[in-house]
Amino acid sequence: MAINHNSKKRIFLSPPHIGKEEIRFVHEAFDSNYIAPLGPQVDAFEREFAEKTGIPCTLALSSGTAAIHLALKILGVQSGDEVFASTLTFIGSVSPITFLGAKPVFIDSDQSSWNMNPDLLSEELEACNKRGKLPKAVIPTDLYGQCADYDRIKAVCAPYHIPVIADSAEACGALYKGKSAGTGVKAAVFSFNGNKIITTSGGGMLASDDKALIEQARFLSQQARDPAPHYEHTQIGYNYRMSNILAAIGRGQLRVLDERVRAKRRLFNYYKNALQDIPGIEFMPEAPYGKSNRWLTVILITPEYFGVDRETVRLALEAENIESRPVWKPMHLQPVFRIENLEFGIRKNLKETYPARVIGGEVAEDLFERGLCLPSDTAMTDEDTNRVISAISRCRKRIVRKLF
Ligand SMILES: *Cc1c(COP(=O)(O)O)cnc(C)c1O
């Protein structure tokens, strides 16, 4: 008999979780009549974010993608340049490269952190140096809330003077060697999109030690208005600032960040305790240099041991009204980055499609194949989590019964 699954409450992957103070700051914004744009809430959010992360200069923007775009623009990325990025990431990490007419080159993950592999990066930079064309920037992603190995990546880039931009969009609240995600690189980018660990409904932050970089970004993010009573422009800018209302939400969210990190990490451990002994299930590792915010709990499902593959599990969860999602599809497999689409001249006239330029790629492909992001809502009850756990466990049992 068919079960009406819709009668079960939907469990979401990572919905917003609003605290108690956000509305107070939003009221403040209304009361002061600073609805939009900019205003004192934005200034306060930038200041408080700098205090929280220890990264001194900050710029609140309309999205994380906008923050990456501005950082690349200020670092001088132009048409024809190359920029290195993680292949295992979200499109927002790399689309700004193409906004500037530059070409992304994708670097594979390592097994221990799932983040950009510094050894592959090193080999490729050496090869690029020999060929006489180095990338203008390197953007490692802090995947699912775990920092990339900044020190090793910086050490590899330093001899060539290539700036590192940390894509910390998913890593707000995570630590690298005891310091906030995004510390110590040329610039770091955070996102407050609705699914992130803290949210302003939509928004981003560019953060850096470099005051000049942030001030240039501020200028470009406000339509590049030169100082004059009339609007005077000598450059083309963007309309990328965060509104005062959204900054008010961000201030409240910042106050619950530590709480959210604790809840995310607790959830990860809860899943891990329940599922780790099942053959064919592994959990995303935590590199010894840092502390992940565990934005999403991610598992690997090996069908040879578990009995069914990741997609079967995902569909089984969906049938129970539980949202889960495959690990990001690697950028080098995305149709939009086929070399013909990027107009790599010499191959333009060939009919076949070519993968984008990627260094390695097998690790990310395997993680995509086997990886599943589990519901990681910090407002989830243990009862909800148990529903997810038993749905996953049932997938395994079914196949065992069939086999024997
Ligand atoms: C969310 C995300 C972005 C983009 O952030 P938006 O605020 O949605 O523009 C960039 N990179 C990664 C890795 C992300 O997860």
Per-residue pLDDT tens for 44-58? 999 999 999 999 999
Write phi, then psi, for 84 (nearest 5 degrees).
-90, 140
Q: Ranked by mean pLDDT, which of 115-119, 331-335, 352-356 comes out on top? A: 115-119
pTM of the model: 0.93
Q: Provide the edge-to-edge strand list for the sheet that holds 103-107.
A: 137-139, 82-86, 103-107, 358-359
> CA-CA distance, 184 to 150, in Å (whole number)?
8
Percent of the chain with pLDDT over 90: 84
Tell me if 3 is assigned to some domain: no
Tell me if 190 is assigned to some domain: yes
Would you say residue 313 has pLDDT above 90? yes
Distance from Cα 60 to the centre of ligand 1, integer Å:
14
Can you read off the two tokens belonging to residue 151?
A: 């020190």
Would you say residue 36 has pLDDT above 80? no
Task: Find, among 201, 185, 99, the residue nearest to 141 by Cα.
Answer: 185
| Parallel, antiparallel or unpaired: strands 204-208 and 281-283 | unpaired
Average pLDDT over residues 65-91: 97
| pLDDT at residue 302 in the model | 96
Average pLDDT over residues 142-148: 98
Tell me if 147 is assigned to some domain: yes
Q: How many domains does the chain have?
A: 1
Percent of the chain with pLDDT over 70: 92
Would you say residue 339 has pLDDT above 60? yes
141 CA: nearest ligand 1 atom: 13
| pLDDT at residue 233 in the model | 96
Q: Provide the H-helix boundaries in 57-108.
A: 64-74, 95-99
Would you say residue 92 has pLDDT above 90? yes
Residue nearest to atom 6 of ligand 1 (CA): 64
Distance from Cα 169 to the centre of ligand 1, integer Å:
5
Tell me if 13 is assigned to some domain: no
| pLDDT at residue 1 in the model | 44
Average pLDDT over residues 310-318: 97
Average pLDDT over residues 271-291: 97
Would you say residue 393 has pLDDT above 80? yes
Average pLDDT over residues 272-293: 97
Tell me if 269 is assigned to some domain: no
Task: Find, among 195, 379, 398, the residue nearest to 313 by Cα.
Answer: 398
> CA-CA distance, 272 to 267, in Å (whole number)?
8
| pLDDT at residue 350 in the model | 44
Tell me if 173 is assigned to some domain: yes
Would you say residue 341 has pLDDT above 70? no
Distance from Cα 20 to the centre of ligand 1, integer Å:
25
Query: What DSSP string runs through 118-174?
Result: HHHHHHHHHHHHHHT---SEEE-B-GGG----HHHHHHHHGGGT--BEEE-TT-TT-
The set of residues, in sequence order, having a beta carbon less than 8 Å from that of 252 and lying 6+ positions away, is 18, 19, 20, 21, 22, 23, 24, 25, 26
Q: Which of 144, 191, 221, 293 to mutate to test the pocket of ligand 1 (most atoms within 8 A of CB)?
A: 191
Distance from Cα 177 to the centre of ligand 1, integer Å:
23
Domain range holding 127? 20-256
Nearest 5°: CA angle at 158, between 153 and 162?
A: 85
Confidence of residue 340 (pLDDT cuts 50, 70, 90): low
Tell me if 267 is assigned to some domain: no
CATH of residue 102's domain is 3.40.640.10
| pLDDT at residue 397 in the model | 60
Residues with Cβ within 6 A of ligand 1? Answer: 63-65, 89-90, 92-93, 141, 167, 169-170, 191, 193, 204
Q: Which of 165, 167, 197 to mutate to test the pocket of ligand 1 (most atoms within 8 A of CB)?
A: 167
Confidence of residue 398 (pLDDT cuts 50, 70, 90): low
Burial class (CB in 10 A: 0-12, 13-18, 19+), 198: buried
Would you say residue 373 has pLDDT above 80? yes
Tell me if 297 is assigned to some domain: no
Average pLDDT over residues 191-220: 97
